[in-house]
């Protein structure tokens, strides 16, 4: 696919970087941007040379979510025409943003949101779907839906309580207030905060360190940890045992001890 509204690059260290590229609108969603973002994610998921996936925004913002101006124009146009019946509105979200949540549940590679600037509404929800969130010290995030008189529809009510706990998640969604990097780090929403100057370099360094880890082990850890959140204890323990058996067949499980004995850094090459 020839991309128009994102940038997509893969480096020789195993990092696939997606950059939302509509800086004039703080990278607000459009159908084109969403389709291209989804296509890039699928490519990275199935490319064995990609070990870590990361998304960031061009310009001064990460993503402002839905195109509010376009939403308002469609609303005005709709008011002059026949309002849609409920049954006619049954599919729009599963056909758009919900595709990300559905796709990413089958992604076992680390997925990082590098939040370089403001992320609001669906933009913050996109970060909630990531495994790790890195923030610029100038960035702010907010579940701004309530300010528009709507509620989170992109999965935020599922992901956010699992990240920061139910009570705090409710408060963030009820008020819609913007959260600074310091608070996001303190409550565990952000994993790291870096200076705005050189932010992407810091984020890439974090990602490249993950790229050096054994791919099978990293992916199995994610698969088991995420799965265990919806499993009983016995099932989780059984699945962890099976994952350990599978991981034990990787050449990297021999490289680790060998490097330790030889007093050198391990080189994990297995896919």
The alpha-helical segments, DSSP class H, found in 26-65 are 31-46
104-137 pLDDT, tens digit each: 999 999 999 999 999 999 999 999 999 999 999 9
For residues 138-148, give the mean pLDDT: 95
Predicted local distance difference test score (pLDDT) of residue 95: 60
Question: What is the value of pTM for the model shown?
Answer: 0.91
CA dist 131 to 82, 104, 124, 168, 245, Å? 42, 10, 13, 19, 24
Per-residue model confidence (pLDDT) at position 155:
80
Residue 34, exposed/middle/buried by CB under 10 A (0-12, 13-18, 19+)?
buried
Residues, the chain: 271
Chain mean pLDDT for the chain = 91
Q: Which CATH architecture best describes the domain 6-211?
A: Alpha-Beta Complex (3.90)
pLDDT over threshold 80, residue 237? yes
Backbone angles phi, psi at 18, to 5 degrees: -105, 125
Domain boundaries, the chain: 6-211, 215-261
DSSP string, 61-98: -SB--S-HHHHHHHHHHHHHSPPPPGGGGSSHHHHTTH
- Give the β-pairing of 132-136 and 179-180: unpaired
Q: If we measure between CA atoms, which residue out of 93, 102, 109 comes closest to residue 18?
A: 109
For residues 100 and 190, the model is more confident at: 190
Find tokens 């309002």 and name the residue: 83
Residues β-bridged to residue 71 = none
Enter the tokens of residue 218.
């990293």
User: How large is the average pLDDT for residues 238-256?
Assistant: 94
Give the three-state DSSP class for 114.
strand
113 Cβ contact partners less than 8 Å away, ≥ 6 residues apart: 54, 55, 56, 62, 119, 126, 127, 129, 130, 132, 133, 134
Give CA–CA dist 122/185, Å, rounded: 20
CB atoms within 10 A of CB 106: 8
């Amino acid at each position: 696919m020839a991309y128009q509204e994102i940038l997509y690059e893969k480096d020789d260290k195993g990092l696939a970087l997606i950059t939302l590229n509509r800086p004039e609108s703080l990278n607000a969603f459009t159908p084109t941007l969403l389709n291209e973002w989804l296509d890039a994610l699928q490519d990275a998921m199935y490319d064995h040379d990609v070990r870590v996936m990361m998304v960031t925004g061009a310009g001064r913002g990460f993503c402002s979510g839905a195109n509010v101006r376009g939403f308002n124009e469609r609303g005005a146009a709709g008011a002059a025409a026949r309002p849609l019946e409920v049954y006619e509105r049954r599919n729009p979200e599963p056909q758009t943003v919900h595709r990300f949540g559905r796709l990413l549940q089958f992604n076992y590679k680390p997925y990082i949101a590098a939040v370089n600037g403001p992320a609001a509404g669906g933009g913050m929800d996109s970060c909630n779907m990531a495994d790790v969130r890195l923030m610029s010290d100038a960035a702010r995030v907010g579940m701004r839906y309530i300010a528009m008189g709507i509620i989170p529809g992109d999965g935020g009510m599922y992901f956010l309580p699992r990240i920061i706990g139910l009570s705090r998640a409710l408060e963030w969604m009820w008020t819609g207030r913007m959260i600074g990097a310091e608070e996001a780090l303190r409550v565990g929403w952000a994993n790291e905060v870096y200076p705005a100057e050189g932010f992407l370099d810091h984020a890439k360094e974090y990602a490249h360190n993950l790229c050096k880890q054994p791919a099978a082990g990293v992916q199995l850890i994610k698969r088991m940890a995420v799965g265990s959140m919806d499993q009983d204890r016995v099932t989780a323990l059984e699945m962890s045992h099976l994952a350990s058996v599978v991981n034990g067949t990787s050449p990297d499980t021999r490289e680790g001890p060998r490097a330790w004995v030889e007093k050198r850094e391990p080189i994990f090459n297995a896919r």
